[in-house]
Amino acid sequence: HIFQSDLDIQLFISRYPWPNAVCMGEGTLVMNLGLLRRLENEDQVAFVLCHEIAHLYKDHVNNDVKEHFTQLYSEETQKKLKQISKSNYNKTAQAEALLKDFVYDDRKHSRKHEKEADAVGLRFMKNTKYNTAEALRVLEILDTIDKEKYQTTIDLPHIFDSEEYPFRRRWLEEEEVMFGGKRSTGEEGWIADSLKTHPECLHRIELLKDKVPATPAATKDTAFAKIKFRTDFEIIESYFHFADYGKALFYTLQLLKKHPDNLYLHTMIGHCFNQIYYARTDHSLSKHVDKPSMAKDESYKKLLQFINNLRLKETILVGYHFMKKNAAKKIFLDHEEYYYAYIVSAALAEKTEEKENLIKEYNNKFPKGEYASEIRRLK
């Protein structure tokens, strides 16, 4: 037995959308929803968990903390800090140079830990029923993790065009940065590769390749397939939960292409536009929707241009007319949450008569409705 029999390992699935898994150092493992939705089978989940258990077994987290504080409070570091504080000039530049050395060294140690966790994790995985060849596939997935899961074009004019409120071409015009030039990312002067905690995945694959025996393809698991299907919807809920309405809308529109009649997706579009309108009214849009210049994916960039180009009134009218257009299909008005989102958008768009009619219909259809108290407040 590798571990003490009384070692308590707990696994948690986090709502965080970033594709990562973490060992906390005392037996807690956390897998983010953003990583789970990118994995293809249970074998790959097994390798990720074995990798994190390897971090625990080798005590990487606690060793890192010790090294970190040993270096920070070492005689040499403290001496440099005193010299900087006594300097009359270039204090900021000197402090940043010291910080870079400190961060680069810390990340270098972390990258070594990742390679060791790969090797030890693979040894652990060989003692399970799972296919070890999928360890290499996990690293291949991580190598392209910055690319969107679904490489699809979102047809915004088609989705948001309606007879009563036609789509305007100017909504897709690219933003102009005043005086031109490149927008600052805040990483100028830092060596990008040295800032990576994880080493290049292709290099990690090379280190593991000879240790992986030839094994059959991963078995298809219907239970995992259901989980995987659900994670695409849960990632939308996560972004909405964290009030990132731009990304919530983006992932909703991506899935809408695959599931054009899905009630949840149509409802979430209404919720997103309502919340984006609220953000505009209190001048906090930048906290909830990225600027187009921050997007790497072209489809996401176009969506951000669309949202940022909308004026205040246009924002809610786009959402309202989208909800109204789909309400013509009876199936949508049998769905309570869709009804609620539609009522809110009608209220915000100042469609008073329609709002009142919708509220009456809602109360008749859902006498003990989940959103009855919120709707009373709208009145």
Tell me what pLDDT residue 314 has. 97
pLDDT interval class at 198 (50, 70, 90):
low
Residue with the bigger pLDDT between 19 and 81: it is: 19
Record the tokens describing residue 234, joined without a space.
């849960």
Summarize pLDDT for 284-304 with one digit per residue, the tens.
Answer: 999 999 999 889 899 999 999
- Contact between 39 and 130 (Cβ < 8 Å): no
Residue with the bigger pLDDT between 335 and 189: it is: 335
Tell me what pLDDT residue 315 has. 97
- Burial per residue of 195-230, b for 16 or more beta-carbon CB atoms within 10 angstroms, e otherwise: eeebbebeebbeebeeebeeeeebeeeeebeebbee
Tell me what pLDDT residue 227 has. 92
Mean pLDDT of the 229-238 span: 96
Residue 1 has pLDDT above 80, yes or no: no
Summarize pLDDT for 234-246 with one digit per residue, the tens.
Answer: 999 999 999 999 9
β-pairing, 21-23 with 28-32? antiparallel
Residue 249 has pLDDT above 50, yes or no: yes
Record the tokens describing residue 362, joined without a space.
């809602």
Summarize pLDDT for 73-90 with one digit per residue, the tens.
Answer: 777 777 877 887 878 777
Summarize pLDDT for 86-98 with one digit per residue, the tens.
Answer: 787 777 777 777 6
pLDDT interval class at 218 (50, 70, 90):
low
